[in-house]
C-alpha cells in the first residue's frame, strides 16, 4: 500500500512525459523537432506552428526577472543573517516567505490593475527619458509604454521568485561556521569583507542552487504573467512590447484550439516546457544536494 503510493510519483513523472510525447506526436511529425523550436510562425489560421516566439518570451522574462531578483534576494539574505537586530530577524524572514505564499493569480490581478498603470505612466517613460537615450538601451526601450509588456511581466516574476532565492540564500549563509567568520573579524575585516570573502564563497553552492531553483519556477509561472504579457506571438527587441511565453500561450489558447494540429502543437509546447523546467530543477537539486553534503561534513 505505502509502496504503491510512493511509486505514484515515478508513475506521474513517466506518465506526464509519455502522454505529452504521444499527444504532440502529430506536431512532431508535421513540423519536426528542430524546425518547431526554431520557427517563428504561430498562425492558427494557416495551421503553421513554431515555438521560437514563445521560447523567446519565456527566456527573456526568466533572465530579466533573475537579473532583478538575484541582487535583491542576496541583499535580503545578508540583511537577515548579518545586519538585522535579533528581534527583526524572525518577522522579516516570515514576511518575505509570506510573499511566496501569495497565489500567483493575485500577483497577476495586482499586476494588471495596479502595477501596469504605474509602469506605463511613471516608470517606463522615466526609463525612456534617462537610459533610453543611450545607444544600446534605446532599442530595448523602444515604443509606446503600455504597461502590458515584457518589462512589467519580468518585474512581477522577480517579485515572485525573490522569496525562493532569499530563503535558500539565507539558509546557506547561516551554515557558515561562526569560527571561520570570527577568525576573519579577528584579523580586522569589516562586516562587508566577512560577507564578501568568507560567507559568500563558503555558501556559493547553495546560493547557486537556489538561483537555479528560482529559474525553474520562473520558467513555468503562468497566471502572474498571463495578465500582463498580452499573448502576442512576436520576437521583439524592445522590452516595452507585448509578447508570449509558453505558459501564457497554453493558458490562453488551450481551450480554444479547434483543430488537432493546433492542440498537438500546444501539447508540444507543454512538452518543451516540461523538459526545460525538469532539467533546470534537476540541476538545482544536484547543486543543493552537493551543498548539503559539503556542509554536513
Minimum Å gap between C-beta 135 and another protein is: 28
In the list 217, 236, 240, 243, the residue contacting another protein (rule: CB under 8 A) is 217
Q: Say whether residue 79 binds another protein (CB under 8 A).
A: yes
Q: Which of 28, 112, 157, 240 binds another protein (CB under 8 A)?
A: 112
For residue 263, the minimal CB distance to another protein (Å) is 9
Q: Give 22 or 138: the residue with its C-beta nearer to another protein.
A: 22
How far apart CA 118 and CA 157 sit, in angstroms, is 16
CB of 153 to another protein, least distance (A): 15
Q: Which three three-digit cell numbers place residue 97?
A: 516567505
CB closer to another protein, 72 vs 238: 72
| Position among 37, 52, 223, 235 found at the interface with another protein (CB under 8 A) | 223
The 10 Å CB-count burial string (b at 16+, else e) for 71-107 is eebbebbbbbbeebeeeeeeeebeebeebeeeebeeb
Give the whole-angstrom CA distance, residue 152 versus residue 243.
11
Q: Is 220 in the site for another protein (CB under 8 A)?
A: yes
Under rule CB under 8 A, residue 192 binds another protein: yes
3-class DSSP assignment, residue 230: strand
Number of residues that bind another protein (CB under 8 A): 84
Considering only residues 10 through 69, tell me which ones interact with another protein, judged by CB under 8 A: 10, 12-13, 15-16, 19-20, 23
Beta carbon nearer to another protein, 189 or 238: 189
Rounded to an integer, what is the distance from CA 45 to the centroid of its chain?
31
Residue 44 neighbours by CB under 8 Å, 6+ apart: 253, 257, 258, 262
Residue identified by cell 544536494 is 289
Q: Are 143 and 241 in contact (CB under 8 A)?
A: yes
Question: Contact between 139 and another protein (CB under 8 A)?
Answer: no
The answer for residues whose C-beta is within 8 angstroms of residue 251's C-beta and 6 or more apart is 222, 223, 226
Q: Does 74 bind another protein (CB under 8 A)?
A: yes
Which C-beta is closer to another protein: that of 9 or that of 135?
Answer: 9
Which residue number, 19 or 139, has a Cβ lying nearer to another protein? 19
| Region near another protein per CB under 8 A, out of 128-136, 175-183, 209-217, 236-244 | 209-217
| Binding test (CB under 8 A) with another protein, winner from 95, 131, 134, 139 | 95
Give the nearer residue to another protein in terms of CB position, either 241 or 249. Answer: 249
Measured CA to CA, the distance from residue 95 to residue 92 in angstroms comes to 5
Torsions phi, psi of 257, nearest 5? Answer: -60, 120
In the complex with another protein, the residue whose CB is nearer, 6 or 46, is 6
Helices and strands in the chain, H and E counts: 15, 2
HEC sequence for 115-155: HHHHHHHHHHHHHHHCHHHCHHHHHHCCCCCCCCCHHHHHH
Q: Given candidates 55, 216, 242, 291, which one binds another protein under the rule CB under 8 A?
A: 216
Q: Is 273 in the site for another protein (CB under 8 A)?
A: yes
CA dist 244 → 4, 149, 164, 235, 275 (Å): 40, 9, 24, 9, 19
Binding to another protein by residue 137, rule CB under 8 A? no
- Told to check if 113 binds another protein by CB under 8 A, we report yes
Beta bridge partners of 48: 43
Q: Min. distance of Cβ 103 from another protein in angstroms?
A: 2
Amino acid at each position: 500500500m505505502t509502496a504503491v503510493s510512493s511509486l505514484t510519483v515515478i508513475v506521474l513523472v513517466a506518465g506526464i512525459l509519455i502522454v505529452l510525447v504521444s499527444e504532440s506526436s502529430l506536431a512532431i511529425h508535421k513540423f519536426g523537432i528542430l524546425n518547431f523550436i526554431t520557427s517563428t510562425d504561430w498562425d492558427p489560421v494557416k495551421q503553421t506552428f513554431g515555438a521560437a516566439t514563445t521560447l523567446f518570451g519565456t527566456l527573456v522574462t526568466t533572465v530579466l526577472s533573475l537579473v532583478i531578483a538575484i541582487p535583491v534576494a542576496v541583499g535580503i539574505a545578508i540583511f537577515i543573517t548579518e545586519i538585522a537586530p535579533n528581534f527583526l530577524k524572525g518577522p522579516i524572514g516570515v514576511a518575505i516567505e509570506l510573499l511566496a505564499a501569495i497565489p500567483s493569480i493575485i500577483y497577476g490581478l495586482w499586476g494588471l490593475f495596479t502595477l501596469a498603470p504605474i509602469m506605463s505612466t511613471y516608470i517606463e517613460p522615466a526609463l525612456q527619458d534617462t537610459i533610453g537615450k543611450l545607444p544600446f538601451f534605446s532599442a530595448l526601450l523602444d515604443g509606446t509604454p503600455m504597461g502590458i509588456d515584457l518589462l512589467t511581466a519580468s518585474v512581477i516574476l522577480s517579485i515572485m521568485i525573490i522569496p525562493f532565492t532569499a530563503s535558500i540564500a539565507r539558509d546557506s549563509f547561516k551554515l557558515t561556521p561562526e569560527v571561520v567568520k570570527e577568525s576573519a573579524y579577528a584579523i580586522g575585516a569589516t562586516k562587508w569583507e566577512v560577507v564578501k570573502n568568507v560567507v559568500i564563497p563558503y555558501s556559493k553552492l547553495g546560493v547557486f542552487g537556489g538561483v537555479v531553483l528560482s529559474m525553474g519556477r520562473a520558467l513555468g509561472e503562468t497566471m502572474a504573467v498571463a495578465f500582463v504579457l498580452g499573448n502576442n506571438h512576436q520576437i521583439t527587441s524592445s522590452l516595452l512590447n507585448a509578447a508570449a511565453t509558453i505558459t501564457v500561450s497554453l493558458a490562453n489558447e488551450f481551450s480554444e484550439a479547434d483543430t488537432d494540429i493546433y492542440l498537438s502543437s500546444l501539447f508540444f509546447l507543454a512538452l518543451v516546457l516540461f523538459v526545460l523546467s525538469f532539467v533546470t530543477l534537476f540541476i538545482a537539486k544536484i547543486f543543493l544536494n552537493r551543498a548539503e553534503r559539503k556542509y554536513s561534513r
